[in-house]
Amino acid sequence: MAGTGTAHLRAESDVLLRVEDLVVEFHVDGGRVKAVSGISLDLVEGETLGLVGESGCGKSTTARAVMQLPRPTSGRVRFDGVELTELKGDALRRIRPRMQMIFQDPISSLNPRRKVGTIVAEGLDIWGTGDAGSRRARVDEMLGAVGLDPDSTRNRRPHEFSGGQCQRISIARAVITEPKLIICDEPVSALDVSVQAQILNLLEDMKQRYDLTMLFIAHDLAVVKNVSDRVAVMYLGKLCEVGPPDQLYERPAHPYTAALLAAIPVPDPASRLDDAHVLGGDIPSNLDPPSGCRFRTRCPKAQARCADEEPSIREVGPGQYVACHFPLAPGEAIEFAATA
Amino acid sequence: MAFVVGGAILAPYLPLDDPQNSITQIARRGPFAKAGTAPGHLLGGDPNGRDMLSRLLWGGRTTLVIATVAVLIGFVLGGVLGLLAGYFRGRTDTIMSGLFDVFLSIPAVILALALVTILRAPAATAGRATAGLDPEVALIIALGIVSIPVLGRITRASAMSWSERDFVLAARAQGAKNLRIVWREVLPNVLPAMLSIALLGIAVAIVAEGTLSILGASVPADTPTWGNMIAGGRQVISLAPHVVFEPALMIFLTVLSLNLLGDAVLAHFDVREASL
Amino acid sequence: MSAIQPGPEAPAGATPLLEVRDLATWFESDRGLVHAVDGVSFTLERGRTVGIVGESGSGKTVLTRSIMGLLPKSGVRRQGSIRFEGVEIGSAPPRQMRKYWGAHMGMVFQDPMTSLNPVMKVGHQITESIHAHLDVSRTFARELALSLLESVRVPDPQRRMDEYPHQLSGGLRQRVCIAVALACGPQLLLADEPTTALDVTVQAQVLDLLEAQQRERFMALALVTHDLGVVAGRADEVIVMYAGQVVEKAATATLFSDMKMPYTEALLHSIPTIDQPSHTRLSAIPGRPPDLVHLPTGCRFAARCAYVQDRCLEEQPPLRPGATPGHEFRCWFPVGTPEGQAARARNEGVEQR
C-alpha cells in the first residue's frame, strides 16, 4: 500500500487545497524517520476530509507540513491558488490567517498567562484588522457563537475553564480571522465522551455558519465518519484508501481499513470480536519501513509482489480509491492471525 | 525584608551620625558592654569609633544597590539571551549555550575578582592616564557579568519548554512575527521562574560581595557595606564580636527573606490547570 | 460472532471475593470537601467481570484506588467497608495492604509509559514483584517471568526480558504491565482504563488478553472505562457511575436492552457509531458534570437530564431495584416507564412552546 499516485485527486481548478507527493523526513539518533512518504490529498471548498489512522501513521505530521510548520521535505501544497512551498517569509505569513488549526490538547493550546478575550482577538491584533471597538465586538460575537457567555469569559484565564470550554475558545480563536480552511488535529480525542458530542456538533455548526472547509484528523473511525464527506486512511506514512465514508465503511477495499473497522468496540453485547478478526502484530518502525507495501508484514493477503512492488492508488468503486495489489472484493471478509 | 529595604532607602533621612565620623568614646564598645552602652548608640561602635547602627543602615543601602543592580544586569541581558536561545534553538542556541558554559566553568569568585581588577585598573590612552572605574561600579558590572550565564541558562530551559507548547504554534499559524511571539507568548510564562531565581540571585550577590570584601576587591572601608564591615572587623573579633556579628546577622536575615520571597513568587504564579 | 459466555457462577452461599458496601472517599481541599466517591456498593465473584463506566469526575478511578488502598496519606476521609475474601481491608494501613498487593490484588493503569520504571529492564520489573511475594530462587523467578511474557503474547520474550520500556511500543508495554500485575497470581485484577491510551487495533488485542488471562486463572476482573463499547462485549455486569455515585447497575445484556437511567441512555446516544450515516446530528448531553464540592440537592444529573421534573431537583432518588433481578437504578422518572415517557414529553412540549 502506497501513497504514491494521484489517481484520487480531482481537477486542480475545482479544489481549495491540493497536496501532492508530500514527504516529511527528519534525522534522529537512530537514522532517518520517514514520517510521511508521498501523500496526496485534495479538498473541495466546503468539504470535510477525514484523515484517519493509528499512532505513528503520520497524520498529524501531514497536517503540520500542509501548514508549512515546519516545511515538508518535499512535495507541493497548493492552497487557494497559491503554491505554499514556494512562499517565503512575509508572503507566507500573510496567507496564514486563511488557514487555521485546532489542536488536540485544549489546555496546552491556550496561553495560561493571557486572558481569553485577548487570546481570541490575537488573529485580529496581529494584522490590525479594524479598530479596538470592532475587534472587541468580533471577539464577543465569536465567543457567543461557540456557546460561551462573552461577559463572563472574556476576562478570565484558561485554567478556569474545563477541557470542553477550552476547546470552544480554541475554535473561536481559529475562526475569527475568517479562514477558508480549518485543520482539526484530533480536536476531541482528549475530551470526555459527553463533551465530544457537543464539540462535534459545534464544529458542524461553525462549518455551516462560516463556510469553512475542514481537514479533520482523528484516530476514532466513528468520529471521523460522523463529520466527514470523504475519508482517507493512512498507515505508516502512506495512504491506504480514500472514499466516501458510508461506502468505505460498508465495503472497505483495503485490508487495513477492514482491520480498523473490525477492531472498534461496539456498544452492543450481542456483537463480539473473536480472535480471527483482530489484527495482530505491531506497527513496524518508520526508520526502516517494510519494502513495497508497508502493510504487508501484518496482512494475511500479502504475497511476493507486495514486497517487491509498491501498490499505486487506483479506483475500485465510484469515488473509492485504494492502494493495494489485492484489494478486498465488496462483501469479502478477512481473517487475521491473532498474533504476529 | 521590608525593614531592611526601608532602612536602606531611608538612611539619608534619618538623624544618624555620619557613618564616617569617628567618635572615639564609643570605639569598640558592644551593644551590651558592661561599662554602659555608649550613650545614644544602640548597636555599639566599630573599631574606628563609628556608629554601628548608622553604618549598618548605610551599608545595607550600598550592599543592596550593588546586589540588585548586578542581578538586574544579569536578569535583562541573561534573560534576553536565554529567551532567544530557547525559542530559536539551532545555531543561536549552540552559540549562546557555548558562551554560557564557558563563563559558568570559571569559578565565579575568580571571575568576579578578575573583572573587578581589570575594571578598576587605570587605563592609559594616548599618553593620558584615566582613572579606573569607581569601585562600586566595577563591582556591580563584575557581579552582573557573572550572573548573566546563570540567569541565561534558566531562562533558556524555561523558554525551550514553553516554546514547544501548542499555543506558540497557534500564534505562528496566525502569522505572528517571531519577536511578537517571544514577547507576548513565551516571555510572560518564563517570567515567574526568572523572577524567583533573580531574587535568589540577589541573595547570592550579597554574599559574594562579602567574599570579595575579604579579598579586598570591594568598596574601601570608609563607605560601609555589610561585606566590608565583616572584612574590617575580622581582626577585632575576639575583643568586639558585635562588629562582625551585626552585619553577618543582617546578611543572614536578608538572604533568608529573599529565599522565602522567591518561593512565594513561584507559588503565586503557579497556575492550576483545569481538569478535563 | 457469538454472544459472550457468562462467567462461571460462584457456588451459592460462598463469600464473594470482593464486597464493597457504602464506600465513600472524600478529599479535603482548599475549596471544601470533594465527594469523589459517595456511597458505592457492589460485589464481585471470582471468574466474573464487572465493567465500571463513567466519565472524568465520576469517581471511577478513585474507587479502584480506594479498593487497592492507594490513596494519599493525609487529607482523605473514608467511610464504608471493603471486604476481600471476608476480611475487612477498608481502613487497613499500607503495611497491611502490601501483603495484598501483587499476591491477591493486581492493578493495571492507564498509561503504560508512566507505570513502568524507565531505568529498569522489563524482566526485572516482573521478577521484582515475584521476589516480593514468593520465596523462590532467581532462576525460577526468571523462568516464571519468561512464561508470563509468553502468556501475555509478547513476541520474542527472551530478547524483550532484557530490554527497557522505551524500546517497546505502547501495546507491548501494556502487556508487560499486565504481566507484572499477574506475576504472583492475584485473585482480583483492577484495570483502570487499560486501553484508553492505545490504538484501536491494539486495544482489541489487549482486551482479549485480559479476558483470556481471566479465564485461565479464574480471576475477578474489574474493568474501568469511559467506553460503553468496551464493556458491552466483555463484562458480565456493568456499573455506571456519575458524580461519585452508582446511578445504574445491571447485567450487561439487561443494561443495553432495558436501561433505565437517563444518563446511561444519553451517554449511549451521544457516541457516534459507525453504523450511523455520515453527518448524523449527535444528541449531545448539555452542560457539565456537577462540582463535587458543592453538590446539588436532589438528583446530581438533574441539571442535564431530558426527563427532569421538579421532584428530581428536590429529592435525591435512591437506588431502586428494577424488573430484572440484579438491576438497580437511581431515577424518579426512568427511561421506558410511563412516568418517564410522560416526563420527557412534558419537557419537550414546554420547549416547543
H, E, C per residue of A103-129: CCCCCCCCCCCCCHHHHHHHHHHHHCC
Nearest chain B Cα to A68, which residue? B173
Q: How far is B267 from chain C (nearest CA, A)?
A: 15
**Alpha-helix runs per DSSP H in chain A:** 59-66, 89-95, 116-127, 132-145, 150-153, 163-175, 193-210, 221-227, 245-250, 255-263, 304-308
Nearest chain A Cα to B269, which residue? A113
Three-class SS of residue C260? coil
Q: What is the greatest pairwise CA distance in chain A?
A: 67
A101, B165: Cβ pair inside 8 Å?
A: no
Is B54's pLDDT higher than 60? Answer: yes
Measured CA to CA, the distance from residue C125 to residue A124 in angstroms comes to 54
What confidence score (pLDDT) does residue A239 get?
Answer: 92
Cα distances from B162 to residues B186, B188, C192, in angstroms, run 6, 10, 31
| Phi, psi angle pair for A100, to nearest 5° | -115, 165
Pick the residue with more confidence: C73 or A276? C73
Is B163's pLDDT higher than 60? Answer: yes
Residue type (1 letter), B128:
R
Nearest to A263 among C203, C276, C283 (CB): C203
C266, A54: Cβ pair inside 8 Å?
A: no
Measured CA to CA, the distance from residue C241 to residue C222 in angstroms comes to 14
Chain C interface includes B276 (CB < 8 A): yes
Measured CA to CA, the distance from residue C81 to residue B118 in angstroms comes to 76
Per-residue pLDDT tens digits for B206-253: 888 888 877 777 776 667 777 777 777 777 777 777 777 777 887 887
Is C288's pLDDT higher than 90? Answer: no
DSSP element (H, E) containing B254:
helix B242-269
User: What is the average pLDDT across A79-102?
Assistant: 90
Is A34's pLDDT higher than 60? Answer: yes
Across the B/C interface, how many CB contacts are shorter than 8 Å? 3
What confidence score (pLDDT) does residue C278 get?
Answer: 86
The x, y and z cell numbers of residue A330, run together, are 465488496
Is B97's pLDDT higher than 80? Answer: yes
Chain B interface includes C56 (CB < 8 A): yes
Q: What percent of chain A has pLDDT over 70?
A: 96
- Alpha-carbon dihedral sign for residues B172, B173, B175, B176: negative
Per-residue pLDDT tens digits for C103-115: 888 898 887 778 8
Nearest to A273 among C204, C278, C284 (CB): C204
C274, A249: Cβ pair inside 8 Å?
A: yes
Could you check whether the bond before residue A97 is cis, i.e. omega within 30 degrees of 0? no
Nearest chain A Cα to C266, which residue? A194
Measured CA to CA, the distance from residue C263 to residue C257 in angstroms comes to 15
Cα distances from C162 to residues C17, C123, C181, in angstroms, run 36, 6, 18
Residue found by looking up cell 537514522 in the block:
A31
Residue found by looking up cell 510548520 in the block:
A69
User: What is the average pLDDT across C55-82?
Assistant: 87
User: What is the average pLDDT across A36-61?
Assistant: 90
Pick the residue with more confidence: A155 or A55? A155
Is C243's pLDDT higher than 80? Answer: yes
The x, y and z cell numbers of residue C6, run together, are 457468562
Residue type (1 letter), B271:
V
Residue found by looking up cell 437511567 in the block:
C261
Nearest chain C Cα to A273, which residue? C1
Measured CA to CA, the distance from residue A315 to residue B244 in angstroms comes to 91
Measured CA to CA, the distance from residue A293 to residue A282 in angstroms comes to 16
The x, y and z cell numbers of residue A228, run together, are 466527514
**What residues of chain B lie within 8 A of the CB of C57, using their CB?**
275
Average pLDDT, whole number, for chain A? 87
What confidence score (pLDDT) does residue C249 get?
Answer: 93
Q: How far is C14 from chain A (nearest CA, A)?
A: 28
Measured CA to CA, the distance from residue C270 to residue C258 in angstroms comes to 18
What confidence score (pLDDT) does residue C41 get?
Answer: 92
Is B13's pLDDT higher than 50? Answer: no
Three-class SS of residue B28? coil
User: What is the average pLDDT across C185-202?
Assistant: 85
Per-residue pLDDT tens digits for B178-198: 889 888 889 888 888 888 888
Measured CA to CA, the distance from residue B244 to residue B213 in angstroms comes to 13
Angle of helix C200-217 versus helix C170-182 axis, rounded to 10: 20
Cα distances from C336 to residues C256, C331, C343, in angstroms, run 12, 12, 11
Nearest chain A Cα to C288, which residue? A195
**What residues of chain B lie within 8 A of the CB of A84, using their CB?**
none
What confidence score (pLDDT) does residue C49 get?
Answer: 93
Average pLDDT, whole number, for chain C? 86
Q: Who's near B42: CB < 8 A, 6+ residues apart?
A: B31, B52, B53
- Model's pTM, two decimal places? 0.82
pLDDT band at A202 (very low <50, low <70, confident <90, very high): very high
Is A340's pLDDT higher than 80? Answer: no
What confidence score (pLDDT) does residue C209 get?
Answer: 86
Strands A82-83 and A31-44: unpaired
- Local structure of residue B77 (DSSP, 8 states): I
Helix/strand/coil (H/E/C) assignment for every residue in C156-181: CHHHHHCCCHHHCCHHHHHHHHHHHH
Nearest to C201 among A201, A267, A279 (CB): A279
DSSP states of C320-353: EE-SSTT-EE--SS-TTSHHHHHHHHHHHHHHH-
Q: How far is B275 from chain C (nearest CA, A)?
A: 8
Q: How far is A231 from chain B (nearest CA, A)?
A: 25
- Local structure of residue B231 (DSSP, 8 states): H
Q: How far is B154 from chain A (nearest CA, A)?
A: 19
User: What is the average pLDDT across B13-41?
Assistant: 38
Is B39's pLDDT higher than 80? Answer: no
| Phi, psi angle pair for B49, to nearest 5° | 85, 15
Is A8's pLDDT higher than 90? Answer: no
**B interface mutation test: which of A111, A122, A183, A193 has the most B CBs within 10 A?**
A111
| Phi, psi angle pair for C89, to nearest 5° | -120, 5
Per-residue pLDDT tens digits for B61-72: 778 788 888 888
- Local structure of residue C277 (DSSP, 8 states): P
